[in-house]
Structure 1
Amino acid sequence: MSDQEFRDEDRIVASTDLLTTRVDGEVMAMSVERGACYGLDPIGSRIWELVETPVTVGDLVVRLTREYEVDAAVCRTDVCALLSSMESEGMIRRV
């Protein structure tokens, strides 16, 4: 499903298969299964925090536009691009 566009009503949740920690306020995640490490910048780390419990894409975008000075359409595009990458790496899943 990772090649499909995200809809506002899609519910996203972080994978529980990753080992995660914070380093200097940023999330570092490791997939033992894939043998891969991922580093998220401050905004990516904030998105990670928000998807640790199931959240809709629409709610995620609304929350981020309130927290950061960003246009909703730009935010949605950027969030969906990150979510798509995270989904293809097994970091998140749709529920």
Structure 2
Amino acid sequence: MTDLLSRRLIPSADALLSPVGEETVILHLGNDTYYGLDPMGTRIWAMLGEGVALAAIRDRLAAQHGVAAATVEADLRRFLDDLLRHGLLVDG
């Protein structure tokens, strides 16, 4: 089984974005369900869209917020798992 952080994940073509202030609303076109991203989720989504590696996202967030990389990684894994489960991210 491949480790999540070694995968290249990209936003699904079925994910239609709409920024709302610092947050983002995503409509999944395949199931007509809306999802909301807070400002941190919006930043992570933007980095994914730019092709930033998952480990680099972890490291950037840890450095920017002065938080241990292990803490950021645990939160990032939960967030990515949720996006994958809802079909908002796909392997790229």
Q: Considering only aligned residues, what root-mean-square deviation do their CA atoms show, in Å?
A: 1.7
The one of 34, 52, 57 equivalent to 2:54 is 57
Question: In the alignment, which residue of structure 2 is the partner of 1:84?
Answer: 81
5+ residue gaps in structure 2? Answer: none
Aligned length: 92
The one of 66, 70, 77 equivalent to 1:69 is 66
The one of 22, 25, 50 equivalent to 2:22 is 25
Q: Tell me how far apart the structure 1 counterparts of residues 70 and 91 of structure 2 sit (CA, whole Å).
A: 21
Question: In the alignment, which residue of structure 1 is the partner of 2:35?
Answer: 38
TM-score by length of 1: 0.86
Moved segments of 4+, more than 6 Å: none
TM-score by length of 2: 0.88
5+ residue gaps in structure 1? Answer: none
Q: Tell me how far apart the structure 1 counterparts of residues 6 and 29 of structure 2 sit (CA, whole Å).
A: 31
Contact 1:18 1:31 in 2 (8 A): yes
Alpha-carbon deviation of 1:5? 5.3
Larger fraction in helix:
2
Alpha-carbon deviation of 1:90? 0.8
Asked which structure has the greater RCO (Cα within 8 Å, sep 6+), the reply is 1
Match of 1:55, SS state, is: coil
